[in-house]
């Protein structure tokens, strides 16, 4: 039974995970760059050290035992801690060490994604040894990941407020109402009136849009979607009107597939926020927040939460 963990045990655990990830001993040969007999011997050594069998392997194929399934999670957790401690030890002389987990929503304007890239570049100029991880999720999922600690900073459109999170405005995104090719209003689009557009069916977001100040009659909203891609599908069908981010709709407009109803009248702006957990941040998170705010302001001033 394994009572102490040696370098050999760590190497054997890495072999075990490589076999699991590859789906068997034979396919793991390429990953590990060793022969099948060597891998089998290493697995046997690990099983002897542990005192139980981890997997069934042979002509019948590869299959984890119940204990082997539990060991997969334990091994990943152990090796992640070991790798993190090793990295911190190697970079002890640097000011900022660790991992920074960011969260973004999909289809953010390229100009604003460029600013996030600029913030990362600015951060990399610091004395640091930090790994970056970016997750692209829906706003609600990003808030959940912030609360659980899976990410430290999120940027996106958030239509409600969670009391334990802090929201700082970074920029606004312009949304415009469109119709698709084949819609009865398509040929006259550009200067349409309120009465003309409210007499047709609309596709709307399934979550609140307090910024979209357009009163529609009962029954006008006949399609709901929780993302802009789905709204675009309804509009492109030629049967629905709807709002899309101007930058997202531009390629369709250039192809002649979409037209704005009346961009001066039927538009609204949604604020994008940087969201973090309330309270004191780690040095890594605090430094990135400072850099993200700086590139959005074009200077080093601090944005105040609204």
Which tens digits make up the pLDDT trace of 61-88? 889 999 999 999 999 998 888 887 776 6
> What span, in angstroms and rounded, lies between the C-alpha atoms of 255 and 250?
9
The C-alpha atoms of residue 195 and residue 82 are separated, in whole angstroms, by 66
The CATH code of the domain that includes 25 is: 1.10.10.10
Predicted confidence (pLDDT) per residue in 198-244, tens digit? 999 999 988 777 778 788 888 899 999 988 889 999 999 999 999 99
Q: How far apart are the first and last CA of the chain?
A: 58
pLDDT at 265 over 90: yes
- Whole-model pTM: value is 0.57
Instruction: Give the Å distances, CA to CA, from 179 to 77, 169, 215, 266, 270.
Output: 51, 30, 17, 12, 20
Q: Report the C-alpha gap between 281 and 277 in whole angstroms.
A: 8
Q: Indicate whether 85 and 119 sit together in one domain.
A: no
Is 116 part of a structural domain of the chain? yes
Q: Mark whether 183 and 265 lie in a shared domain.
A: yes
Q: Tell which of 62, 90, 118 closes a domain.
A: 90
36 and 63 housed in the same domain? yes
> How many domains does the chain divide into?
3
pLDDT of 193: 95
Tell me the residue range of the domain where 80 lies: 7-90
pLDDT in tens, 21-56: 999 998 999 889 889 899 999 999 999 989 999 999
Q: What is the dihedral of CA 144, 147, 152, 156, to 10 degrees?
A: 40
pLDDT of residue 132: 93
Other beta carbons less than 10 A from residue 254's beta carbon:
9
- Tell me the pLDDT of the chain averaged across its residues: 87
Evaluate the CA torsion angle 183, 202, 205, 260 in order and state its sign: positive
Cα distances (Å, whole numbers) of residue 66 to 18, 39, 54, 74: 18, 21, 8, 13
Whether the pLDDT of residue 249 is over 80: the answer is: yes
Going by the DSSP 8-state scheme, the letter that residue 183 receives in this structure is: S
Q: What is the CATH number of the domain that holds 166?
A: 3.40.190.10
**Which CA distances in Å does 77 have to 28, 38, 87, 143, 271?**
21, 25, 16, 24, 38
Q: Determine the pLDDT at residue 113.
A: 73
In which band, very low, low, confident or very high, does the pLDDT at 2 lie, cut at 50, 70 and 90? low
Q: What is the pLDDT of residue 88?
A: 66
Residue 303 lies in a domain: no
């Amino acid at each position: 039974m394994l009572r102490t963990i040696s370098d050999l045990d760590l190497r054997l655990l890495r072999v075990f995970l490589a076999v699991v990830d590859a789906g068997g001993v034979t396919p793991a040969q390429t990953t590990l760059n060793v022969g099948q007999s060597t891998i089998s011997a290493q697995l046997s050594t690990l099983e002897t050290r542990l005192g139980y069998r981890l997997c069934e392997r042979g002509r019948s194929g590869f299959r984890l035992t119940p204990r082997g399934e539990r060991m997969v999670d334990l091994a990943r957790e152990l090796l992640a801690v070991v790798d993190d401690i090793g990295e911190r030890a190697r970079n002890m002389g640097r000011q900022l060490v660790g991992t920074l987990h960011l969260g973004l929503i999909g289809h953010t304007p390229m100009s604003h994604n460029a600013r996030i890239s600029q913030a990362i570049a600015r951060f990399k100029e610091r004395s640091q040894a930090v790994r970056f991880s970016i997750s692209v999720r829906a706003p609600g999922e990003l808030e959940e990941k912030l609360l659980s600690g899976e990410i430290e900073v999120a940027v996106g459109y958030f239509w409600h407020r969670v009391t334990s999170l802090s929201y700082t405005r970074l920029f606004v995104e312009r949304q415009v109402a469109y119709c698709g090719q084949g819609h009865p209003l398509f040929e006259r689009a550009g200067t349409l009136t309120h009465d003309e557009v409210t007499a047709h069916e609309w596709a709307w977001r399934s979550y609140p849009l307090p910024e979209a100040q357009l009163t529609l009659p009962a029954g006008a909203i006949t399609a709901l979607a929780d993302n802009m891609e789905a709204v675009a599908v309804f509009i492109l069908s030629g049967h629905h009107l709807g709002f899309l981010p101007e930058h997202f709709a531009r390629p369709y407009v250039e192809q002649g597939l979409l037209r704005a109803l009346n961009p001066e009248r039927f538009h609204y702006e949604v604020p994008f926020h940087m969201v973090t957990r309330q309270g004191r941040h780690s040095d890594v998170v605090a430094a990135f927040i400072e850099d993200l705010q700086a590139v959005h302001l074009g200077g080093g001033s601090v944005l105040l939460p609204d």
